[in-house]
Structure 1
Amino acid sequence: MDLNIVQKITVYALPVIFAITLHEAAHGYAAKHFGDTTAFMMGRISINPLRHIDPIGTILVPLLSLMLGGILFGWAKPVPVNFSQLRNPKKDMFWVAAAGPLANLAMAIFWAFMIKIATLMPGSSFALPLALMGQAGVLINAVLMILNLLPLPPLDGGRIAVSLLPQHLAYRYAMVEPYGMFILVGLLFTGILGSILWPFVTLFIKVLSAFFGISLG
């Protein structure tokens, strides 16, 4: 279904905000669970989007992505994590990093369930808006989950890789982090990032679609 820009903003607003902000809140919750209370003390373990919204990354960049097409891209204010305060820093880093993508996985499943509900109430005035918002939610969370699992520091996948590598290799790999965002932006603007992500995003959506017996095309 073709939507104008106002309709797109209406459909995508809530899924985008919660996909990005709950991703960050999940990192903070995991860090607190494993011993680092930095995010908790700063009030960042919250489902209140206002605590996580970055005006550029959470609003402006996703809005431009919707208008220009391509990969829906964005970010929230990173949740501060002091890995040295974790009870087992190298081991616990895995779970703190994985918490964000796992939150996106949970939200993708939630939005797929919303689409299933929409299919069960044909004729309702809420069915179409709910289905469209559900499709947006599945897509956004699939992209963010897979994007963040790329093994590139400072993305979550990079930190997961650091936690799994032997100490001497982990140290060298972590040194890539200051350049990670520049590499990511370069991959985005050259189109390489899309070529890497879309096959995995498409496969994930197909699996979710088959599991719930819904159309996500």
Structure 2
Amino acid sequence: MLSELDIIKILATIVSLMIAIIGHEIMHGYVAYKYGDSTAKDAGRLSINPIVHVDPIGTILVPAVLYISGAPFLFGWAKPVPVNIQTVIYNGGYKAGIAVALAGVTYNFILAIAASILLGFLETQQHSLGSALLAIFLMYSVIYNIVLGVFNLWPFPPLDGSNALRFLAMQFRWQPVVNVLNKIEPVGMILLIIIIATPLSQWFFMPARWLINILL
């Protein structure tokens, strides 16, 4: 039977992970909107209503399986926000494409830093049930935002890091880089599964563990 602390941890996990992954997607659409692409806005995807962003697999199934299996970290994803990247590039160039690609990651890192600062402030206050609950939520916010941010920076399609690298290469006409990304794009998801399901994940998530240790 779940204890009260277990229930609190589960709720903190769900809320912090939802804020991390849904906000991540909203920021892609918001930055694209700033560059003249209203696709996400017209589709109602700039809303903070979590229902419009939930992906049954990425938002529910994957985090649940990782939690039940006792994985050392959780991550997931929301339904991708639609972006007309051609409109974005037309209005702002490849730099705008990079900005849209990195908008979600930037959101995650800023949120993690903010949560870390608030957590440090709480440690100087008198302890109460409310502050303890908030501390658990903030701790998970740091962890999940860092994991999500680092994961999305991996240079494998269709992750944000790959998209940012592609636009950067196009900006500076590094065609060999674009060619490599085009070649691995059809097998990008397979590469991600192999990394996540093997000891390779220890190496690829090393920056996440380093940043979490600093912030916590």
TM-score of the two chains, using structure 2 as the length reference: 0.87
Task: Verify: 1:115 aligned to 2:115, yes or no.
Answer: no
Distance 1:88 1:114 in 2: 35
57-66 or 119-128: bigger deviation: 119-128
Shift of 1:15: 0.5
Change (3 A) 1:31 1:138: same
CA change 1:74–1:26 in 2 (3 A) is: same
> Is residue 2:52 matched to residue 1:51?
yes
Instruction: Please give the alpha-carbon distance, in whole angstroms, between the structure 1 residues aligned to 2:156 and 2:52.
Output: 26
The alignment's C-alpha RMSD in Å is: 2.0
- Residues in 1 aligned to 2:139 and 2:63: alpha-carbon distance in whole angstroms: 16
Secondary structure, aligned partner of 1:36 = coil
Partner SS, residue 126 of structure 1: helix
**Cα pair 2:55 2:78 within 8 Å, conserved:** yes
Unaligned runs of 5+ in 1: 209-215
Once residues 132 and 70 of structure 1 are traced to their aligned partners in structure 2, the CA distance between those partners, rounded to angstroms, is 16
Letter in structure 1 aligned against 2:87: Q
1:112-151 equivalences under 5 Å are 112-151=116-155
- Runs of at least 4 residues off by over 6 Å: none
The verdict on how the C-alpha distance between 1:63 and 1:5 changes in structure 2, with shifts beyond 3 A counting, is: farther
Cα 1:205–1:100 change in 2 (3 A) is same
Contact 1:16 1:140 in 2 (8 A): yes
2:212 aligns to what?
Answer: 205
Q: Deviations over 1:30-77 (max 9, x none)?
A: 111112211111011122222211122112211221221133121110
2:168 aligned residue (158, 164, 169) = 164
TM-score, length of structure 1 as denominator length? 0.87
What is the one-letter code of the residue matched to 1:76? Answer: A
Inter-CA distance 118–74: structure 2 relative to 1 (3 Å threshold): same
User: Does 2:89 correspond to 1:99?
Assistant: no
1:22-37 mapped onto 2 (5 Å cutoff): 22-37=23-38
